[in-house]
Amino acid sequence: MQHIKVLIIEDEIHASKELQRILLKIDQEIFVQAIIDNIEDGVAFLSSEDQPDLIFSDIQLADGTCFDIYERVEVKSPIIFCTAYDQYLLEAFDTNAVSYLLKPITEEKVANALQKFEKLKQVFEPQKTKAAIGELSQQLRVPYKTALLVEQRGKIIPLQVKDIAFLYLDKTVTNIYTLNQQHFYISSSLDELERTLDPQIFYRANRQFIVNRNAIVDVERFFSRKLIVHLCYKGPENVLISKAKASGFLRWLEGN
C-alpha cells in the first residue's frame, strides 16, 4: 500500500488510539494526520485544503453525530465509518463505495476495509460520497421516542419522555425518575434507551446515568478535572462526568 494520509474522527480516546495502533501495525506508510473528537474541530480540519486520503469516522460523537460535520463542509475524501449500528441500516450506504466497520474494531476488519479502499479509490468521486452520506444520514435519523411504556401495579403507562429527569442503572435494573419525582422501572437497557432518546435533550453521563438537560441545576468541578452534575432533586448517587467527557458535556449543555 502506498503512503496515505488518514484522519480519525472518534471521541473515545481508547478507541482512537487503538485504531491508530492497528493502522500503523498494518502499514507503517500510513500517516495519521489528526485525531478529532468533536464537530467544530472536524469542520475546521476538513475546511482546509489539505484533506486526507481517507477518513475513519465514528458516527456518534459527544456533541452530536459526524453528519453534523459532513453537512457543513464538502467532503473530498472517502470515509470508512466506525459504528455500533446494525448492518441493515448501512446496506444502501455501503453500495455507494463508502465502507464501514462494525464495532468492536479489530485488525482484520481494518485490513479488509483498507483493501477495499485500495480497490475502489480510483472511482471515488466527491459527488457520490456526498450523496451516500446524505442517504445514510436520513436512514439513521429515525424519530426519537416521545413516550416510554412502563408498568405500575399491573397497568401499562405511557410515560412522556419530556417528563423524565434521569434514567439510572442499578446493577441490572433500569430505573426512571421523573421531574415530579415519580419512580418507575423499565425492562429496556440503558444502552437501548440511549439510542431512542433525543441526544439534544438527553446525555449519557456515564455507565449508570442518562440525564435530561431540563433536570440539571448546575455543574460542579471535581477532583482530577471531573464534573459533578447537580439535578433538580438528589438521585441515588452523584452523577459524575469523566475528565475525557467533560468538555463534550459542557458543549452539549450550552447547546453546541
91-126 confidence digits (pLDDT tens): 435 433 467 788 889 999 999 889 888 877 655 555
Q: What is the pLDDT of residue 174?
A: 96
Pick from 72, 76, 118: nearest CA to 99: 118
Range of the domain at 169: 147-253
193-235 confidence digits (pLDDT tens): 998 999 999 999 999 999 999 999 999 998 888 999 999 998 9
Q: Count up the domains in the chain and report the number.
A: 2
148-176 confidence digits (pLDDT tens): 999 888 899 999 999 999 999 999 999 99
Question: CB–CB of 11/64 below 8 Å?
Answer: no
Would you give the DSSP letter of residue 73?
S
- Per-residue confidence at 249, pLDDT binned at 50, 70, 90? very high
Q: What is the pLDDT of residue 91?
A: 41
pTM above 0.75, yes or no: no
Beta bridge partners of 203: 211
Helix axes 13-26, 107-120, angle to 10 degrees: 60
Is residue 81 domain-shared with residue 172, that is, in the same domain?
no
Is residue 120 domain-shared with residue 31, that is, in the same domain?
yes
Would you give the DSSP letter of residue 105?
P
Question: CB–CB of 205/226 below 8 Å?
Answer: no
Is residue 80 domain-shared with residue 12, that is, in the same domain?
yes
Is residue 235 domain-shared with residue 180, that is, in the same domain?
yes
Q: What is the pLDDT of residue 93?
A: 52
The amino acid at residue 117 is: F
Question: CB–CB of 181/130 below 8 Å?
Answer: no
57-74 confidence digits (pLDDT tens): 988 888 888 888 888 888
- Between CA 135 and CA 79 the distance in angstroms is 14
- Between CA 88 and CA 95 the distance in angstroms is 12
- Per-residue confidence at 141, pLDDT binned at 50, 70, 90? low
- The helix/strand/coil state of 90 is coil
* CATH number where 198 lies: 2.40.50.40
